[in-house]
A and B are shown apart, each in its own frame.
Chain A
Amino acid sequence: MKLESILPRALGASDSDCASIFTSLIMAAHFERTRARALGWRGVRPSASEHPAWTCRVAGSDLIFGIRFDGEREFEATDGTPHCLRGWFSLFVFPPAESPLLDRFPLSALHFGLAPMYAEAVRDFTGSEHFFKPFCLGQLRLDVSFEGNALALTLEAPARHRVISIDGVEIESGWIVRPGQPECDVPSFSLFLRLFSVLTATAEQQLGEEARISRGIHLVPRMQFRSFGALEECESEKEAMLSLTASFGPSMALENEALHQLRALPLRHRPEELEQLSRPVLHVLTGFLGAGKTTFLRRWLDFLHGRERYTGVIQNEFGKVELDATLMKNDTLVEALDEGCVCCSLADSLRPGLERIIAAMPAEQFVLETTGLANPANIMDALDGLRDLVVPGLVITVADALDLCGSMDDADKSGARPENSGIRHAQILKADVIILNKSDMVSSSALEALSARLQALNAKALVIPAQYGNIPFGELDAWIDAHTGSRLPSHRPQLMSLSQTAAAHSTHEDEGYTAKALTFEAPVSVADLEALLRDAGPGLCRAKGIIEIEGEGVCVVQYAAGQLEISPAPEEKPLDLVLIGTGLKL
């Protein structure tokens, strides 16, 4: 093994070299999110304190771990052991406040855990060390040779951490702890095993070799205390201190403990199928005309690309104007599919498009932005035939709160709500995630009612309100993580009534949608533009394009849900104005 693959410098430059090694180890593991997750990491936060410290979560556990660097010491070479450095880290474990596990912690830990600020305070646990001391139940050691050819990680913690209360703890209504009984009883060692396994797997990956695993055990005094606080050793009981060591390179055993070799690392994280993909994931973005799909997508890409999670986009627009691709220029690699709707002529255009973009940019994920008229049920059917290229991911539907609430009054009279029929219905029904966009343009009561209606239509979907396509993207990640693979609602086979099946698979052609492109030779006034949209008839759903507006220059024109928006264009070149709807009078 070579230490320089973790820390590219000689040891001895600081009084916290082991902290540097530790932080380099976990930071490098997080360059690629999928790799970090496959190792079992579920989030890390560096913690503010004088000493380097971190909080983190790992797969398969709802605990939050705290790791705090305590210091390091140099050991001179002796017979059989090389010149090496040992760093000590305190390990803390924070169960969720509602967890029964917390009831087995020291009373002072439980007391603090029930306080309202517990969840927040854990994030900076070293800032209020006094309160968190009873959560410190293990230790991590990092040994490393100055030659840089040996490294070992050791977890040490009591098998059962018990402290006996000699006098007991009594309140008015009786005993909380009976005399002579343990005040706490925590299976410390096993709580830290998953964390240790993730750390070891991380070191294995970066050092490019498998660790030798050994375990040790020694007995330490069990402690007991009296009500006035004096602590003493318990004569009748001992506490078993367990240790687990993962070592790389030649042995540096600094202590003469009896170590037993183990064949494998206990509780090693086994990544699920979706975490170890060889093929990229393809998410499908749908949403009715003008709901804000491109706006949402640009915000999502900004979030992803800011974290170096590169994502390519395949866009399909109804009508020949590539406005969305123009707006997204420079954001990412965009593959624009031919005119027409991907849901109707999918097999023909999607496969070559996908092949082109995967070849040009072998990213881990892609987003297919469909036309506002696409029926995701048709797309999901077609994606099944593309499994050799991609793994189908989420169906995300951007819903237009204004559009869906706008006709509420009429809907109340007729009983026909826009989301209950046609393409909108199919898009809601097939969604894993519903982004309820333009939530700021309707009243909060209307938004709440709409949200409830959508959730009633699709109980499994995550419904998130958004303004200008902005959502807490971290929470979208968390939801995806909780619903990987077959657990996604869109992947679940759905039993539908006959009428639903018909609706779900209908296409925009069945519903009579058409697109018309208009070219303007001269600048248009806003009033003329408004008149034109009005005269197009009640069937007009959407208009978009880049045209020259009188007195404003070249502008992006967007019309949806009865709202006209005009904003400066990213480039001077006008594109046609496309109108989409039914029964257009043009």
Chain B
Amino acid sequence: MNRREFLKGASLGVGAGALGAMGLYSYTPMRRAFLPDIDRKMTDFGVCKSVKVTNISETSWFDNGIFMKNVTGAGGLLVDQYTFNWAPFGNGKGIGKGSYEEGIAKIKPYIQKGDLHGAWSIARENSVDADNAGGFACLVEIEDLEGKVTKYLFDCGWNYDWMEESFKREGIDQMLANGEIAGFIQTHEHMDHYWAFPVVAKYAPNIPIYTPSTFYPQGKQYIKDSGHVGPWTEVKKGLHEIQPGVALYMFECPIIFKVFGEISLYCNVKDVGLVSITGCCHQGIILFADTAYKELKYEKDKFYGLYGGLHISPFDDWDPKYDDLVIGLKKWELERVGCNHCTGLITAQKFVDAGYPVVKGTARFRSKTTNYLGNGDIITFPA
């Protein structure tokens, strides 16, 4: 009898202990552990009572065909976003030949005057397909255990005109101007999440802001050029608590169009579970969920809700049958999902078909499907 045949039998009956007694000894010369072996770190970051997310805009661009034409025309996914000649950083030299410095020089006088429509009009003349730009932004309202509500603006979109319009629709401009918004969280440096920052700075130049610590020099300069003068926290890799039950987590990951690092938001809702809010989730939803599981202590050990754009993974899985977001998320048994933005219309449809607890939207204000928590729609956790 060879060892395989014997062990096949053994795997049915004889346990590993019995094999050990027979003289098995697994010695490996290579394993060297420096960090202590802990199963889960489970940092306690407190609790809040509820979370409400208002989708200001999830439509990053309106026509995918035009966007893809821009990307491939400029040379692909590795090209630096500031060189695309996308608005507002157009220099009039055509696709792939732009620069931050030349672009900002043209619009800075208008930004300084607070004339953002004027700035965008100038940018439109010098950029490619400026009208295709939309943006991603949402308002996150945290209710603490005493019932006090703290508001955060989560990303700010791309197109000045579109974001002004969207802010006004949801009353964000007033909230900013009245100092009702406690902080602004910039998840990552991508144009569709970040380039309308002057709209935020116009209404609230003093607002405390959080960005990944790995912004490129142009992105850092843009904060200043937009007229922001308030406190600025550069969030380093890992956990960053901002109030009881609310924490940012910075993932160090390279992202297409030469961007690095993305912040996600975790909220621990008392007696309910963990609610996670993402911009695009470029780190991949699998890593995102696994990180919460191993790093955080949350109520009922329950992964309760999810809002935002859901990129499945930056990689192809080596086993193709797992290359599916519906399968990837199954084990977390989420109870409330509001998806949109980069999730994919068909993926959202598959969630619905597979019986996921997708909170439907209303497909208004240029959002395309009710399977998305669309522009102007609201989701609350708990329901």
Chain A residues in contact with chain B, CB under 8 A? 6-9, 13-16, 20, 23-24, 26-28, 30-33, 36, 41-46, 48-51, 55-57, 64, 70-73, 88, 90-91, 102-103, 106-111, 114-115, 123, 129, 133-134, 136-139, 156-158, 161, 163, 165, 167-171, 173-174, 176-177, 183, 220, 223, 225-229, 231, 239, 241, 298-299, 302-303, 305-308, 310, 312, 329-334, 360-363, 470, 472-475, 477-478
Given contacts A165-B23, A334-B65, contact A55 B314 (CB under 8 A): no
B43 within 8 A of A: no
Q: Is the CB of B11 within 8 A of A115?
A: yes
Complex interface: stretch among B45-53, B68-76, B151-159, B266-274: B68-76
User: Contact string, B306-348, partner A, CB cutoff 8 A, digits 1/0?
Assistant: 0000011111111111111000000000000000001111110
Q: Is the CB of B69 within 8 A of A361?
A: yes
B7 within 8 A of A: yes
What are 19 sample pairs from A and B whose C-beta atoms fall under 8 A apart? Answer: A23-B253, A24-B254, A43-B316, A43-B320, A44-B318, A70-B32, A72-B34, A73-B34, A106-B24, A108-B20, A136-B28, A156-B30, A161-B29, A163-B25, A171-B6, A307-B316, A334-B65, A363-B68, A472-B324
Interface residues of B in 1-49 (CB under 8 A from A): 1-4, 6-8, 10-11, 16, 19-20, 22-35, 37-41
Q: Is the CB of B294 within 8 A of A45?
A: no
Given contacts A71-B35, A108-B26, contact A477 B320 (CB under 8 A): yes
Q: Is the CB of B32 within 8 A of A90?
A: yes
Complex Cα distance, B260 from A115, in Å, reads 41
List residues of chain A with CB within 8 A of the CB of B284: 46
Q: Is the CB of A31 within 8 A of B294?
A: no
B286 within 8 A of A: yes
Q: Is the CB of B24 within 8 A of A107?
A: yes
Q: Is the CB of A174 within 8 A of B25?
A: no
B214 within 8 A of A: yes
List residues of chain B with CB within 8 A of the CB of A30: 314-316
Q: Is the CB of A44 within 8 A of B32?
A: no
Q: Is the CB of B32 within 8 A of A174?
A: no
Among B237, B321, B350, residue most surrounded by chain A Cβ atoms (within 10 Å) = B237
List residues of chain A with CB within 8 A of the CB of B343: 306
Complex Cα distance, B318 from A88, in Å, reads 24
B216 within 8 A of A: yes
Main DSSP-derived SS at the B contact region:
loop
B178 within 8 A of A: no
List residues of chain B with CB within 8 A of the CB of A170: 22
Q: Is the CB of A183 within 8 A of B214?
A: no
Q: Is the CB of A183 within 8 A of B346?
A: no
User: Contact string, B70-86, partner A, CB cutoff 8 A, digits 1/0?
Assistant: 01110011100000000
Chain B residues in contact with chain A, CB under 8 A? 1-4, 6-8, 10-11, 16, 19-20, 22-35, 37-41, 62-66, 68-69, 71-73, 76-78, 213-214, 216, 236-238, 252-254, 256, 260, 284, 286-287, 290, 293-294, 311-324, 342-347, 350, 368
Q: Is the CB of B30 within 8 A of A91?
A: yes
Q: In the complex, what residue of chain B is closest to A35 when comparing beta carbons?
A: B78
List residues of chain A with CB within 8 A of the CB of B72: 310, 361-363
A46-B315, A472-B320, A472-B321 known, 18 other contacts, Cβ within 8 Å: A24-B254, A26-B315, A31-B77, A31-B256, A43-B315, A43-B316, A43-B318, A45-B318, A48-B293, A106-B24, A169-B23, A174-B1, A298-B346, A310-B68, A332-B68, A333-B69, A470-B346, A474-B316
Given contacts A50-B40, A88-B32, A227-B22, contact A45 B317 (CB under 8 A): yes
Given contacts A229-B25, A306-B311, contact A46 B287 (CB under 8 A): yes
Ranked nearest first, the 5 interchain pairs of A and B with the lowest CB-CB distance are A71-B34, A43-B318, A474-B323, A474-B320, A302-B346
List residues of chain A with CB within 8 A of the CB of B293: 48
List residues of chain B with CB within 8 A of the CB of A133: 26, 28, 31
Q: Is the CB of B2 within 8 A of A103?
A: yes
Complex Cα distance, B27 from A161, in Å, reads 10
* Among candidates B1, B311, B345, residue contacting A302 with C-beta atoms closer than 8 Å: B345
List residues of chain A with CB within 8 A of the CB of B20: 108, 229
- Measured between C-beta atoms, what is the minimum distance from A528 to chain B in Å? 30
Q: Is the CB of A333 within 8 A of B37?
A: no
Q: In the complex, what residue of chain B is closest to A469 when comparing beta carbons?
A: B346
* Among candidates B69, B77, B253, B312, residue contacting A32 with C-beta atoms closer than 8 Å: B77
Q: Is the CB of B38 within 8 A of A50?
A: yes
Complex Cα distance, B64 from A45, in Å, reads 28
Q: In the complex, what residue of chain A is closest to B35 when comparing beta carbons?
A: A71
Complex Cα distance, B327 from A474, in Å, reads 12
Given contacts A103-B2, A108-B19, A470-B350, contact A24 B253 (CB under 8 A): yes
List residues of chain B with CB within 8 A of the CB of A108: 16, 19-20, 24, 26
List residues of chain A with CB within 8 A of the CB of B71: 310
